[in-house]
Amino acid sequence: MKQARLFLTLDSAGAFVVGTIILLFSSLISNLAGWEESFTRMEGFANLVYGSYSGTLLLLFGRGQLRRIFIVVLIIANSFWGLQCFVQVWRLQEEATYLGTVALLLEGIYLLALAYFEAKFVLPIVSNLSRVS
């Protein structure tokens, strides 16, 4: 149970922190990363959406009301967004700085790791809770 809560917390808090920083400093980050400002804002906004969704799941988990399908959606979304980060590395290879490339690579790795750990630790617990209710 503690591991499930930890990974949902990492998912939500990480997305909120990164999304907020990106949106607050989008001009600076765009310049440092070599990204267009619209892309930077989209990254920040997407992180806030992810943080909201996984935060809602964390609250539902705490109340014992989390359903398996919500975690499956989170795992799929994290996987696709992580892969999207790698696609953006390829797409932006001419204009992104090394910092921008590394940031996208790390975000992709982080999201794919979260998807893996949520599948390994959160999904089985939620599946067991669903059977009990």
**pLDDT of residue 14 exceeding 80:** yes
Convert the pLDDT of each residue in 15-39 to its tens digit. 999 999 999 999 999 999 999 999 9
User: pTM here?
Assistant: 0.90
pLDDT for the residue 127:
81
**pLDDT of residue 13 exceeding 90:** yes
Decide if 50 contacts 11 (C-beta within 8 A). Answer: yes
DSSP label of 95: T
**pLDDT of residue 129 exceeding 90:** no
**pLDDT of residue 132 exceeding 70:** no
Convert the pLDDT of each residue in 69-128 to its tens digit. 999 999 999 999 999 999 999 999 999 999 999 999 999 999 999 999 999 999 999 887
Torsion, CA 90, CA 34, CA 98, CA 106, rounded to 10: -70
Long-range contacts of 28-34 (CB under 8 A, 24+ apart): 32/97, 32/99, 32/100, 33/96, 33/97, 33/99, 33/100, 33/103, 34/92, 34/95, 34/96, 34/97, 34/99, 34/100
pLDDT for the residue 131:
61
Query: pLDDT-based confidence at 1, cuts 50/70/90?
Result: confident
| 3-state SS class at 77 | helix
Q: What does the alpha-carbon distance between residue 72 and residue 79 come to, in Å, rounded to a whole number?
A: 11
**pLDDT of residue 5 exceeding 60:** yes
DSSP label of 128: H
pLDDT for the residue 78:
96
Cα 43–chain centre separation: 11
